[in-house]
Amino acid sequence: MDSRDDQQDPQGEVKGADITTIVARDIMSRDFARVSPETSIGDIITHFSKRACPDLVVTDHDGTFRGVITPFELMTHLNPIIGVRTRRKVSCIECMIMGEASVAADIMTKGHLTIREETPVMEVLRLLEKYHHPDLFVVDERGVALGVVSICGIISHLRIVGHL
């Protein structure tokens, strides 16, 4: 006789798993966009115009998490009217590229919230709600970026395991 706890989906997820046992490691994506602090603003513009606009994780050569660039951060520097998160604004792309803001390190948010692989999904949800951000970045004990947990990834995981 099959119980919900014994059923598995094709990816090996246990259906009906206790939600309190789900941690960031179970739901994070290891496939995320990364750039170095020296990446040019032009390359960042290209990234946001060619891809589905995921946030860019800024990491050192050893993978250490340094910050995040969201499309809003980029737009803040492109257009002073949009200035959402910072007061440093530039009114034209040419001015920005030629001026002070020339690389990723100049526009990234340095204090972005990170979590560990062992962070329970309920805590992840609480943090996402509290800080109104659609994703959190997972780092190890040395600060190396390992993955990203998105609200959509959580919804997908909870649907697969039978909680939605």
Q: Which residue has the tokens 């329970």?
A: 120
88 vs 122: which has the higher pLDDT: 122
pLDDT score of 133 more than 80: yes
- In this predicted structure, what is the pLDDT of residue 99? 54
Res. 89: pLDDT tops 80? no
pLDDT surpassing 80 at residue 48: yes
Query: Looking at the predicted structure, is the pLDDT value of residue 85 above 90?
Result: no
Mean confidence (pLDDT) of the chain: 81
Q: Which residue would you say has higher pLDDT here, 147 or 5?
A: 147
SS3 1: coil
- Please compute the mean of the pLDDT values over residues 91-110 and round it to a whole number: 69
* H helical segments located in the chain: 24-27, 41-50, 71-78, 93-98, 104-107, 121-131, 151-160
Quote the tokens at residue 22. 């789900």
Domains of the chain: 4-160 (3.10.580.10)
Tell me the pTM.
0.74
> What is the mean predicted confidence (pLDDT) over 66-93?
67
Give the model's confidence band at 3: pLDDT under 50 very low, under 70 low, under 90 confident, else very high: very low
For residue 93, the model assigns a pLDDT of: 53
Would you give the DSSP letter of residue 43? H
CA–CA dist 48, 74 (Å, integer): 9
Burial of 69 (0-12, 13-18, 19+ CB in 10 A): buried
- CA 38 vs. chain centroid, Å, equals 19
- Asked whether residue 123 carries a pLDDT value surpassing 80, the answer given is yes
User: Considering only 1-15, 20-34, 127-141, which range has the smallest mean pLDDT?
Assistant: 1-15
